[in-house]
Structures are given as C-alpha cells and as structure tokens.
Structure 1
Amino acid sequence: MTLSNSRFLFSAAGLALASLLPEQAAIAQSAAPATITVQVNKPGGAIPKNMYGLFFEDINFAADGGLYPELVKNKSFETDDHLIGWKAVKGAAGLESYIVSSDRPISATNNHFLRLSAKAGGADAGFVNEGFRGMGVKQNAEYTFSVYARRGPGSVSGMTVTLEETRRPGPGPETPPSGQALAQAQITGLTNEWKKYTVVLKPSATAARARLKLTLDGAGTADIDVVSLFPKDTWMNRENGLRPDIVQLLKDMKPGFLRFPGGCIVEGITLDNRYQWKETIGDVAARKPIINRWNKEFKHRYTPDYYQSFGLGFFEYFQLSEDIGAEPLPILNVGMACQFNSAELAPISAAKGPNAAGQGDEPTLETFIQDALDLIEFANGPATSTWGAKRVAMGHPAPFNLKMIGIGNEQWGPQYLERYEPFSKAVKAKYPNIQLVSSVGPSPDGDLFDKATFKMRELKAEFIDEHYYAKPEWFRQNASRYDKYPRSGPKIFAGEYAAQSVAIASPDNKNSWDCAISEAAFMTGLERNSDVVGMASYAPMLAHVDAWQWTPNMIWFDNLNVYGTVNYYVQLLFSQNKGTSMLPVQLPGNAKNGADNLFTSAVTDAPTGDVIVKLVNYSTTPRAVKVNLAGAKKVGKTGRALVMACDDLSVQNSIQEPKKLAPKEGQFAVSGSTVNYTLAPNSFTVLRIPAKK
C-alpha cells in the first residue's frame, strides 16, 4: 500500500471501508470494536519538553561527506596517509615530482602541505581530489573554491582549477578517471609567501560524482594547502554552514534535544584517539583531523579513508541545536577508551608517565573533568571568561544556555563507576544546575546493567542512559517496560534504540516497516510513562548510501539527495504530536498495553486543546476501535488522522522512492465524546480530536 501526502476524508467509522480489501471490510464490519477509554478529565504529569530528540554520531560519513558539506577530502594533507583522497596527474611533459612537506608550513597545527614540481605546466601537471565517494554538484549552483598557495623556484604563474565529471578509471595506477569539465577558473598572482586565493565555480551540469582537478600553469614548483570546495547554498547561508536538505529534515521533527558528538567516537579506540572538543573550535583551517574510530571496525564495511576533519565541531553543534530549537546535550569522555576496543583507562590520580602513544604525560581523570568544566564555560560563560571569550570570538556573544551534559558513553563496570563519582561531584560543585546523564552500559538488562542502575539511583543521578538494539519483537514485547519502574529517582534517557531486522550490527539490517511499527509500539510505552522517561532518541541518525558502516539508520543520503526512512516518519509523528500532559488509557478488560498486538497512548495538547491518541495495530487484519473520551467537554465534530499503514512489513523508503511509506493525513467524524475508528492492518495512527475537559 503506497501512501501519498494528499488529504482524504474518512467515513464516520474511521478508515473508509471502501479502501480495504472486501474480506478485510467484512472483518472490520463484523468484529466488535475494542473500547479504549481515555481519561481526559484525569490528566497525569507533564510531557517533558525535550521528550523526543536526536542522536548524532559521526558514523556512516554523517559529518564529513554528509551534514558537513565540504567537498574536498583531506583538504590540509594532515591525515596519517597524507595523500588520502588525492591522486597525481602525470603526463610525459607534465608533473615531474611531488612530496608532502613540512618546510615552513602555514602554522604549527597545520604543518603539512603538498609541493608540486612540473617540467611544464598544463593538464598533465597536477593533482585531483576524489571527494567523499565523489563530489555532488548541482547545475548553476555556486561553489567557493579556496586554497593557500605559494610559488617556489621556476616560473609557475598560477593554477587552473577544474571541476569535472568522472567517467571511468584510467589505465594506470596514478591516472584518475577522465571526465568532462563542468567548471573552470584560474588562480593567478602567486608569491613566495603563503596567501589564500578564492574563486567561485558554477557547474554547467549536475553530477553526483564529480572531482576537483588542480594543475600548474608554467614550469617550476608550487606549494598548496587547505584546499576547499564549499557550496554557497548552506543552512542559513553560513560560510561554514551545513547541508540544508539534511538540516531541514532534522528541524521538521521539532526535536527537544540534540545529543552529540556520539557515540563511541567520544571514547576513541584509544585515549589518544578520543574526541577532544577543544581541538574542534576556532579557525576551521587550523583544526587537526584524526582517524575516525569507525574506519576499520567492521571487516564487511572496511573504510580506511574515514577521518574526522572537525569542520563540524562543538561550536557548530551548539549552533545547530539552536537553529533547530533543540537543547544541546554534549557527551564527554570520562577517562575511558571504548571498552569494545582497547578499554584504556586514564588513571584517577596523578600522571604516571607516557601515554599510549609515548608522548608526554598520560592524562588523568582531572584532565577530563577540567575539559567538562571548560566546556560549560565555553557554552555559558561571559565574554570576560577564558572559554566564553572563545565562543564570542567565533561569532556568538550570547550564551548557548547549556543545561545538561553526559558523562561517558555506554560505559560499564566498576571502572566507570569509580570515575563517574568524582567527575559528577566536581561538575556539581561548580555548576549545581547542570543536569547529568549517566551511563549504565550498552545492554538494557543483565548483571552489569542492574548494578550500574542501583549505583546511579544511590548517587541520585538525574538521567540514566539506556540503550536498546534488538529484534523488532523485543520492542513490541517491552512496550510496558516502564510501567513498573520506580516513579521517583533518576529519569530514563532512552538514548539509543533501533530495531534490528536481522541481528545487532548485521550489514543485512533493513529500515523496514516491521522495524518502524515495532518501534512505534515501544514508543507508546515511553509516552505513557513520560513521568519516568524524560528523553528518547533513535540511533544512529545519518548514513551515506555509499559509505556506511552500520545499519539501520534514521536518515539516508547520497551526494545530492536525502530521504527519511519509515523509522524517521514514526519518530516525526511522535515528536510533532507529543502534547503537553499524559492521559490515562484503559484497554478492554484492563488489558496490558500490547495485548492482542494493540498498543496505545494518549496525551492532551494545551495550546490546541486537542486530545491526541496514538494507536498501533500490529495485525494483518483491520481493527475496529471505540475511543471514549471520559470527562471531555466541548468536543469538536471533526478530527484529524495521521496514518502510516502497509500490508507489506518489509517495505522501505529509498533514494528512488523517498516517500513510498510516509504519513497520510485525513479527517474523521466525532460523535459526542466517542470516536469510532477502524485501524488499517499493520498501521500506526495518530488521532487528533478537538476536546476540552
């Protein structure tokens, strides 16, 4: 069943029976409706303002090659293999030699550059950059090319910059694919000192896999560094802005929070490889890249060219949070490398010699605590403070109003607990109003989970971060997980979850409707228990269709297009319809939520006066329901329905069919305080009923 975005009118019985197959219509007409009572006159606690949010991690080329739209890979030659992403163009009378040099670099932090020497200038004397699985460029759009360059011995007068469409690989190992020129410009006036040169390229055609070619004009030597090709069309037209089509999908969700920068990249494979936020702010050209811990994690998705450039750094994360109306939730290292990798630990006491890389003193827990305190000052401090001044210098005088941070990501065991306690005490001593998100490990059950949860309750933690990656049936079976949780103590942050159609981390997992509708069933349980569950986010958020390491993911993209999965639209429906207060819901015979594969939750929305009822029918047949709005007054005669339904549980959206299954909106009749409605097979339905208690 393919759904469109067009409006349609439901019959008084809800979903028009004419839209069902004849045998389904007969079942719907004959079956007694399941009565669902919503206690409109007995509202429960407030729905947390930040209930549904976003989890970002730089996995699957989510940042470089994705949300961060720089088109040049390894623009500063600072990766371990300094020429990743680059290939020489060598002809008989062209490029004579090349070397990555550190002779009088631009700066101490950007201390590598490419030196080219040519026997003669021209098309055979230069280098090409492949981009991130190619460069996606659009016809007549504008792209700012910039480079730092200087002239050496010889008569090099400048450079020719060409954006060209790739066609097929050339015959030799150093011969890149050849292609038609899409745009071309000249760089002139080189001197013997570093200088930045800028031109605008305007492609004559759209290409998903273009490349950038730089060739010398004249014989001799020239040095190049910080080579950039950046689209002018960015979110809010910022110079170092983000990809607007992806940001728009995020903003459309009306997210309550943005958790960043991960995920396991917070920890790193080793502590030397950990995410250090201080290295990601300031001048973009001076930010030093590091290897991405996901580059060699999975043999089935081996990605040795995956680095983090940090063009998207902590300042940009805070800015993005502000842009989309989300509370920032940075996650900080607690002195532990990823326990699935080296499990390296920073000592709790004074430094004890060289670190894992043999460089200087090993960082202690105090190093990580100070990083957290400095981050809060960077986000919230005045211009007169050390780190607040750095935020102001980057163009944001007002504080970012940071209210919460996470201590560690998905860590477990006594090593985490003995570091968490002094870390949390130090943060609270200086910033008592900052709320802390605490880890209880990667699994939602088991001995380590139980011990960590007990300890966090003992320490009066504010949020406990629970993660669930499991088969779709687990999510349906656990829709009542929080019904019997303690109503006091730490709130739950459902920080990472996604149904796995095959198995955890399997490359064969799909973003199927079976997964998404099962997540919807689980989310009715989160919503019904929003006095316990304070925040929730699907994970991971983004993936490049040609460069992913993990699946499933909420949003997929290529170099030109982006689409939301069916899972994305489930998240969107919950987030856009979260309401302001819980309403008690009673199923027939006081049955448990999920009985007979019927799942439901209800809220009231103060600004509109609507009662919002969410219903999941995980069944191959239609289901008649009767919704009684107990205690409701002044009920309107017409309600709105948002429906996702498909007989085929394996259906997915794609680049080619981005809305194959997406919410379909319509209207239905309301009779007094009663709604009679027929749920489609395998459906997730949101009913908005105008009603006041």
Structure 2
Amino acid sequence: MSKTISKGMFGLFFEDINYGLDGGLHAEMLENRSFDFLECHGHKSNYYQQEAPLYGWGAYPSASDIELTASKENPLNDVNPSHLVADVKKDGAGFTNKAYEGIFLKKGVGADISFYAKADKETSVFIKIFSEDGKELVSSAEIKVSSANWTKYTTELINNEDIKAGKFTVVVGNSGVISFDQFRAYPKDAVLGLFRKDLVELLKDLKPGFMRFPGGCVVEGNELTNRYQWKLTVGPSEERKANWNRWAVHGNDNDHGNKDMGDFPYYNQTLGIGYYEYFLLCEYLGCEPLPVQNVGLACQYQSDQLVESSSPEFNEFVQDALDLIEFANGDVNTKWGAVRAKMGHPESFDLKLIGIGNEQWETDKVDFFHRYDVFEKAIHDKYPEIKCCGSAGPDVTSDHYRDAWNHFSPKMKADANYSYAVDEHYYVSDEWMYNNVHMYDAYDKHKKVFAGEYACHINPDRVPEKRNSFGAALAEAAFMTGLEKNCDVVLMASYAPLFARLKFTQWQPDLIWFDASSAYGSPSYYVQKIYARFTGTELVDVDFDELEKDRVYVTVSKDSKKMYIKVINAGNADVELNLATINGYHKGAAKIYKMEGDVDDCNSIEEPTKVALVEEDAELGFNYISKPNTISVIVSEI
C-alpha cells in the first residue's frame, strides 16, 4: 500500500535568535529606533534589566556640540514613552546611530526614512550617511521641523554608489532644543517594505510548506514577563511595547564565574515584525503559518515561573490562543478580525495550524499535559477545524519524551483530532543520525510527528560558521530519508535554527548565514532545498536498504508528472544502483541535482556556493553510479 506524503511536509522554523530578526530578516537598519532598549543582566532566577534609552546613539561631530538626553515627558505615546531630546549647541551638529556594523546599501537601492520630531522653533534637519573617514556619501533633502507637537516626517536617500559601514547621521541645521522619536530606515528594495530582500529570496527559493514562529524559547521567555505576547505585536508599530530578547542573557551562568552580562546585553525585540507581519511573510512565501502559543510557562530550562493552571490568569492564556485564531481568520466584524482588517488585510489568513506550548515537558511541578488538554478542548470546541500540535519535550532520549508519548499516544489513537502532530526536537551527532535513519519505522501509525527542531552538531571546536560542514549536511540528508519513508508518521519537519548573523551568534550551526550586506545558505540549506522542492505526493516502495551498510541511502517519491530519486552516498566508495527495480521508472532524459565535496567543506561570504546544488541534464539508463560524499536527486518524467 502506497503512502501519501503530506503537502508541504518540509518547512521552516523561525525564531529571533542570532539576530535573525532585528538585525536580520527585519530590514530595519537602525538599532534602538524608539529609544526604549533595555540592557540585560543576570542568570537563572535572577534576571534584571536596566534602561538604556541612548544605546546605539552618539553625538556628532562631538559631545561638546550637542547634548543628548532621554526623556519620558510628553511622549509620542505611553507604550514606548522614552524619546531623545537634543540640545544643539552649534549649527550643523547632530547625532549618529550605531546600526549594528553600519549602513550597507547597494548602489541605486536607496532608503526610506521616517521619524517623529517636535521643536519650539523652526529648524532644518538632514539625514546623512558618512563614510568611516568622514566623507559625506549621501544626504536627504532639507526637512523643516516647525511644530511644537509630535509630527511624522518622511524622506528618502538615493545612493549612487555602494555604501559600506556608513554612519547614519541626523544633522540639525540650527541650534536649539529638538526632540525625536521612532526612527525608521528601510532599504527601498525591502520585501513588503519590511523584510530584507536577500534573506527572503533564500527562504522563497526553498519553497517551504510551512513556517513555525515566533519560537522557540522566545515564546516562553526566560521569565513570564519576557514571554512573547502576540497582542502586543499588532497595531501601529509605534505602539508596540519593545521587549528584551531572552537570548541576550544566553551563556550567563551563576555556576561558572558568576557571569552577569553576556556578549549581547542589548539584544532586544522591537516587534517591528509582529504576528501580522509573520502572517504576511507566510502568505508571500506561499506556506502555512504555524504560530506557537505560550501555555503559562516560562522557559523550563531557565526558570521555574508558571501561571497555575487552576487560576483565572491561566484562562487568559487560553483566551489569547482563541483570539489569535479570530485575528487570523475572523470576519471583519469580529473584534480581532477588525484589527487585522484595519492593518490592511480584510481577507482571512486561513490559519490551519497552531502550536500549544513550545518545548514543554511534564514534571512534578509542571502539569503540561493538563494544560494541553485545556487548550485543545477550548480550541476544538470553537474551531474544530484547527490542527493542534503538542510537544514531546527537549529531546527524544529522555523520560520527558517517553512520558509525552505515554500521554499523547492513547489520546491520538482514540481521537485523531486530539493532536495533529507532536513536536519532537533533537540536536545530535552525525553518528546518531546515521544510526537512527529507521527511528520512525517502529512508531505506531496512529502517532503523528512534527520533527520541529533538528540539526547535526559536529565540529564543536571550529568557529561558529564553520560548524555547518558538508559532513553535517550528509548526515542530515541520510536521516531525512527516514522521515520521507515514514511520511505516514512524520507529517512535518524543519531544521533549526534558521538564521545567524556573523559575529552575533548565540547558537550554531544554523541554516542561513549573513552579515550586513551578504547572505549564503549552508550545505544544510541545500539539503532542505532538495527535500522541500524534490519530494512528490506519494512514496514509491523500494528496497535499497542493503546499501545502508555502506552508508548509501535511497528514497523515491512521485507526483502525477515526475519521479524523484534521492541518493545519499556518505560512504567511501562508488555504488551502482539498479534503477530498473523502481516501479514506474523510465529511462531517458532526466535532470540530476547534485551536491558534493569534502566532509569539512563549508560555505562562506567569500565562497557562498562552495557546496551547493548543481543542476545537470542527463540521459539515464537503468544503472546509476553514486559517488562518495554526494547527495543527488534524479528527477525523471513518468
């Protein structure tokens, strides 16, 4: 009996880690744009923050020419009250923004700029970008600030040359006091006006089936006050309450040197990309959104905080999930559907999936299974069509994992709608992946799995970006043959994490690496591309398992027009495959997509496609020679 492969089985998991959102996918070029950043300190059970409203901003040309202070008096709004007050001592003085590693703009792209300002007397303002040696590279037209009330101003920058590490500078023409807030600086080529073009293109080229968001541990927060609250991320961006990022304190440890402040203490969440924008991105990518909801638990690794499941406060978490579905799908006459429509999308986002909890597990103090049951019942009582995803905990080897399946399995057997799939996570070695290719063979067929976070972790002593080696990609490709072959159990799968900004990482390896101006896919990226783009709708039953002793792995699928034969040779010898044994295979013209290289090979900014997918035209017979250290897909007509 053939097996049906879930539509969009291979997708994305996005979390704001490694500066993957602000400083990455979110095309905003400035840091601390609303003067509300927090400086993050502490470690488990002792996190604290200090206001850092002037982080990233500095005087131009010197502190003697202008005095910069932060104020909360007479703010633009009460959500993000802090703003900049500039006491200009000298005509032509101003202030700069750090902008991560500076402003990078390709020739002719330009930027759209906006800000709010007020002044007691009319004054001129210019937005300029200077080179590192002080040369003016580009300037806006003169902006006349003439109102004592907060007023929004817009302008643009048109650059006729490449800008690298430029210094974003606000120049005030006249002395006096002027206040600023809510700066924005987006490249004109930003996708939907919001997303960094090259990063979105890499995502779109994968053809993902779904995107799970916004995390990850960000969903839970290191404290409940730090959790991701979707209702705070919709509406005008100026009125979204900024939050610190839990990854700002990653690595702080009371047991090893009492490290109080890490390498990225100013890693914040502007929420310029919120739930509405995530839905827009999924729509643009053509994939299903899978938002993950907090179940009243802070990160179980980092905190003991929880909201008691018997409390009225817990019911608010449940209501948040119901309101989210209304926001995504509700009629424009509903409360939250009206919010969506006002933001510019009266049509439903057609949400089908929702995650109940992130990486949760049951303990003596944490009743996660009960929490899931409450959420599931509330959701299905009102929205029976929504597919709920559970959690098997942080790994697939511990009692947490076994306890999860002891809970979920009988309930899924009794009611297939109870959980569409249970989210499993594993960050493992290459040997583990090779040894567990058949892991899902033994799963009862009523169990359904979402392999929501996985990656091969090898080369721990290498610099972060070099841990994404071809050797890791080979192991992942081999393991994923087991996911495809067990498509009746594994319904969805996504690599993690998705993005990493060079020099700004908290976790590695990662699928896509980038700096201020360039981006590239790791070898693992191309493995994901193979599975997302070259997997059919039906599994073809084949038996090449005897080749696995030589570390050669084969899986075959088809759709109505094409057959897809994946061959992963992680061994050290040529292997000949008899394609005539594949039911429905026809010799003749075919396309072959191939990756090859040394196991230590990596991609980089300098060599972004050293290990990448290469397309070849071929005329195939019934025999195919697979070379060592290769990943190939044969695409033939049926």
TM-score by length of 1: 0.85
Aligned-partner SS, 1:108: coil
Shift of 1:350: 2.8
Matched residues, number: 608
Q: Paired residue for 2:263?
A: 302
Contact 2:223/2:298, CA 8 A, preserved across alignment: yes
Q: Does 1:384 align with 2:340?
A: no
| Of 651-660 and 502-511, the range deviating more from structure 2 | 502-511
- Distance of aligned partners of 1:413 and 1:538 in 2 relative to their CA distance in 1, 3 Å threshold: same
Identity of aligned residues (%): 38
Q: Paired residue for 2:68?
A: 98
Aligned-partner SS, 1:312: coil
Structure 1 segment 24-39 matched on structure 2, within 5 A? none
| Of 543-552 and 404-413, the range deviating more from structure 2 | 543-552
Structure 1 segment 331-346 matched on structure 2, within 5 A? 331-346=292-307
TM-score by length of 2: 0.92
Gaps of 5+ in 1: 1-42, 168-177, 352-363
| Of 64-73 and 291-300, the range deviating more from structure 2 | 291-300
Q: 1:61 aligns with which of 6, 9, 19?
A: 19
Q: 1:190 aligns with which of 142, 146, 171?
A: 146
Q: C-alpha deviations, 1:210-241, integer Å up to 9, x for none?
A: 22111322221110111111111121xx34x2
Structure 1 segment 180-579 matched on structure 2, within 5 A? 180-235=136-191, 238-239=192-193, 241-298=194-251, 302-350=263-311, 364-414=313-363, 415=366, 416-460=368-412, 461-488=419-446, 490-503=447-460, 507=464, 510-579=467-536
Shift of 1:548: 1.7
Aligned-partner SS, 2:373: helix
Gaps of 5+ in 2: 39-51, 253-258, 413-418
Aligned-partner SS, 1:295: helix
Query: How well do the aligned residues superpose, as a CA RMSD in angstroms?
Result: 2.0
Q: C-alpha deviations, 1:400-428, integer Å up to 9, x for none?
A: 01001001111112412232221211111
Q: Does 1:667 align with 2:617?
A: yes
- Distance of aligned partners of 1:225 and 1:343 in 2 relative to their CA distance in 1, 3 Å threshold: same
Contact 1:412/1:441, CA 8 A, preserved across alignment: yes
Q: Paired residue for 2:627?
A: 680
* Distance of 1:325 and 1:51 partners within structure 2: 13
| Of 184-193 and 264-273, the range deviating more from structure 2 | 184-193
Q: Paired residue for 1:598?
A: 552
* Distance of 1:500 and 1:444 partners within structure 2: 15
Q: Paired residue for 1:138?
A: 106
* Distance of 2:319 and 2:463 partners within structure 1: 38
Q: Paired residue for 2:255?
A: none
Contact 1:156/1:220, CA 8 A, preserved across alignment: no
Contact 1:156/1:219, CA 8 A, preserved across alignment: no
* Distance of 1:297 and 1:196 partners within structure 2: 37
- Output the amino acid matched with 1:138: K
Aligned-partner SS, 1:614: strand
Q: Paired residue for 1:170?
A: none
Aligned-partner SS, 1:305: coil
- Distance of aligned partners of 1:676 and 1:82 in 2 relative to their CA distance in 1, 3 Å threshold: same
Aligned-partner SS, 2:633: strand
- Output the amino acid matched with 2:33: K
Q: Paired residue for 1:641?
A: 592
* Distance of 2:301 and 2:145 partners within structure 1: 52
Shift of 1:670: 3.6
Contact 2:128/2:136, CA 8 A, preserved across alignment: no
* Distance of 1:545 and 1:93 partners within structure 2: 35
- Output the amino acid matched with 2:276: F
Q: C-alpha deviations, 1:532-568, integer Å up to 9, x for none?
A: 0000001111111132211111111111111111110
Aligned-partner SS, 2:592: strand
* Distance of 1:485 and 1:229 partners within structure 2: 51
* Distance of 2:68 and 2:214 partners within structure 1: 36
Contact 1:639/1:687, CA 8 A, preserved across alignment: yes
Q: Paired residue for 1:20?
A: none
Contact 1:476/1:594, CA 8 A, preserved across alignment: no
Q: Paired residue for 1:15?
A: none
* Distance of 1:530 and 1:396 partners within structure 2: 35
Q: C-alpha deviations, 1:580-599, integer Å up to 9, x for none?
A: 10111112xx63x7322111
Shift of 1:91: 4.0
Aligned-partner SS, 2:474: helix
- Distance of aligned partners of 1:370 and 1:67 in 2 relative to their CA distance in 1, 3 Å threshold: same
Contact 1:133/1:546, CA 8 A, preserved across alignment: no
Q: C-alpha deviations, 1:157-197, integer Å up to 9, x for none?
A: 12232112224xxxxxxxxxx45433344221422111111
Shift of 1:118: 2.2
* Distance of 1:389 and 1:158 partners within structure 2: 40
Q: Does 1:119 align with 2:89?
A: yes
* Distance of 2:347 and 2:548 partners within structure 1: 47
* Distance of 1:93 and 1:77 partners within structure 2: 21
- Output the amino acid matched with 1:100: A
Q: Does 1:159 align with 2:109?
A: no
* Distance of 1:504 and 1:368 partners within structure 2: 42
- Output the amino acid matched with 1:654: S
